[in-house]
Amino acid sequence: MKLATLKNGTRDGTLLVVSRDLTRAADVSHIAKTMQLALENWDAVLADLTAIYDKLNDNTVSGAFTFNPQEAMAPLPRCHQFIDASAFLNHGNIMEKAFDLDVKKDPNIPILIQRQSDDFMGPHEDYAFPSEEDNADFEGEFAVITGDIPMGASASEALDKVRLITILNDMSMRKHLFRELQMGFGFILAKPATVFAPVAVTPDELGDAWKDGRVHLNMEVSRNGEWFGHPNGGEMDFSFGQILQHITYNRNIKAGMILGSGTVSSKDWKETGSACLAERRALDILEYGEVKTDFLKYGESLSFDVKDHLGQSVFGKIDHIMVKP
């Protein structure tokens, strides 16, 4: 099943079911007014939502309309908790090697940070930031949205509570990042609003591509219409289940928590490219001895997409432009 949230002038929008080919939608607010309410009452609403999804794919839903991703908010426009991981260790290894960083980390413990969760952006909104001197960067990631997960859950138990999967662009302002890290807490100015794809999907929609708690599909990234990379989500060193198990060691997770994978990164970077400017700049240093890739400027466009094995977009595109405030 595929779900989205339609702009309606409120902060949480209207819940939609979207057809598998992303062309049609149905308003399901009579079942669950918002995505958050659907997640909190998942067992009660799942059958009804699934029945509408099946009919939508058969083109037999009365009142169905053309799905316009331009009118979509983030699938979950805001949530109580957003945690981002750095689960592709290759990304960190590249950065550490290129910039001679001394990072204290344990290969058995996932790197995590709690993030802003009250101002998610939709897939086609212009992205405003105060200054080009902030060194704006992008990071293509996969993400899961969970139901309730009790403290002490195993990796498999936690994975069973993954309700939806989507993709995001985790924007970064690199000028502020290292300064904030060195202060000992977390990111604030370095990590402004996150951008999400128009649609989130249930794990079964991915078929064999959802395996071992990972999305085994390419993250296709373009900058100004030109290919930038297509690393595969299957290279995650920590699965989503393992990360969720770590988080629930001493806490409960409540329905609607979002967990990001961190920058999708491939060891075969010469073939697959990257999903992040900082990684590409680090690879410039390793390959050429100098940086050849600029940070984002106003007017530049970014696109993120994930396609299934038939070439169909799974989550719909993130496609947006960098602008002055």
The pLDDT value given to residue 154: 98
Distances, alpha carbon 220 to alpha carbons 122, 201, 269, 319, in Å: 18, 18, 13, 12
Dihedral of alpha carbons 227, 233, 113, 5, sign: positive
DSSP readout, 128-147?
E-S-GGG-EE-BEEEEEEE-
pTM over 0.85: yes
**295, 296, 282: which is closest to 98 by C-alpha?**
282
DSSP readout, 144-211?
EEE--B-TT--HHHHHTTEEEEEEEE--EEHHHHHHHHHTTS--STTS---EE-S-EE-GGGGGGGEE
The pLDDT value given to residue 41: 98
**d(Cα 26, Cα 53) in Å, to the nearest integer?**
8
**Which residue in the block uniquely carries the two structure tokens 């100098």?**
290
The ranges of the chain with pLDDT < 70 are: none
The pLDDT value given to residue 105: 76
Q: Which tens digits make up the pLDDT trace of 179-227?
A: 988 888 889 999 999 999 999 999 999 999 999 999 999 999 999 999 9
Q: Which tens digits make up the pLDDT trace of 228-259?
A: 999 999 999 999 999 999 999 999 999 999 99
Give phi and psi for 68, each to the nearest 5: -115, 105
Q: What angle do CA 47, 49, 54 make, to 5 degrees?
A: 90
**d(Cα 222, Cα 319) in Å, to the nearest integer?**
9
**Packing angle of the helix pair 277-288, 89-99 (nearest 10 deg):** 50
Distances, alpha carbon 319 to alpha carbons 121, 153, 187, 302, in Å: 12, 36, 25, 6
Give phi and psi for 7, each to the nearest 5: -60, 135
Q: What angle do CA 72, 78, 83 make, to 5 degrees?
A: 120
DSSP readout, 78-110?
--S-EEEE---HHHHHHHHHHHT------TTS-
Distances, alpha carbon 131 to alpha carbons 73, 175, 192, in Å: 25, 10, 13
- 277 three-state secondary structure: helix
| Domains of the chain and any CATH numbers | 2-71 (no CATH), 82-323 (3.90.850.10)
The pLDDT value given to residue 166: 99
The pLDDT value given to residue 178: 81
